[in-house]
Copies of this chain bind each other. A is one copy, B any other.
Amino acid sequence: MDREKAEKPKQSKKLGRPRAGQERLTRDGILEVALQLVDEEGMEALSMRRLAAELAVDPMSIYHHVSGKQAVISGLVDKVFAEMRLPPSEEAAWQERVRGWAVAYMDLAHSHPNLVLRIVSDGAAVSDAMLRISEPLYAALEEAGLPPRRIAVAADTVVDFVHGHALAEDSSTTSGDANFEGDLLERLEAQPSNSSPTMRRVFRALAEDSREMDPVASLNILLKGIEADADDESGQALDSV
């Protein structure tokens, strides 16, 4: 935790013998420096050799603590998930709790933008972490009165949406352009004039509307859909239980 940061590989390679019991290199220390590197310079800056330089250590030394680069990345995802903190919101309505969970998860992704792609796609690392953080989501959905199968469907829907949204936010900020929304309208109007009439109408109206697009509006759609599902006794098509 309070490991000293090796700011530059400026220290001489010859260090004094480390105090007994306090190893120079630890898995946690490696991950901490790796996370800093990724946060500051992006995923493409993370190489085993660069990481070693940052740690003022021979590249190969790292392999004594983690099995390889893939393990470093998975470790980072894991570490970031461990940071997720939910608002306390115990006796709130289930809708509020679902919203709170989704927002907390979105914030988590948002606070490490360079890692978003791995967070949403590193199946192995994520599924473990997901198990640890998802209970409040499932509990809230159970309180909505849904049977198990519909709880699972609703939870997947929320999680998949959050993942997709995190990616969209990430690649719209990452890929250069500041004004992504107005940009779309421009490119649309550069197209043949009979194409995409509805989108033109929509984006034109949006251009005169300064309000930000709030992902909570999407969450509200999800919540209304889940409510409707909870009120529907008949079981939609195949989904009773």
Contact = CB atoms under 8 A, between A and B. Distances in A.
A214 interface: yes
Interface residues of A, number: 75
A109 to B, nearest CB: 11
Interface stretch (A3-11, A16-24, A33-41, A116-124): A116-124
A185 to B, nearest CB: 10
Copy tally for this chain in the complex stands at 2
Contacts of A134: 196, 199
Contact of A175 (B124, B201, B206): B124
Given A198-B135, A221-B225, A226-B221, A184 B127 contact: yes
Given A131-B184, A225-B223, A205 B241 contact: yes
A121 B167 contact: yes
Nearest to A222: B225
Interface in A108-132: 117, 120-124, 126-128, 131
A142 interface: yes
Nearest to A126: B171
Given A135-B198, A163-B163, A163-B167, 17 more contacts: A117-B121, A127-B175, A127-B184, A128-B187, A131-B188, A131-B196, A138-B198, A149-B205, A151-B202, A153-B217, A164-B164, A205-B241, A221-B222, A223-B225, A224-B225, A225-B225, A228-B228
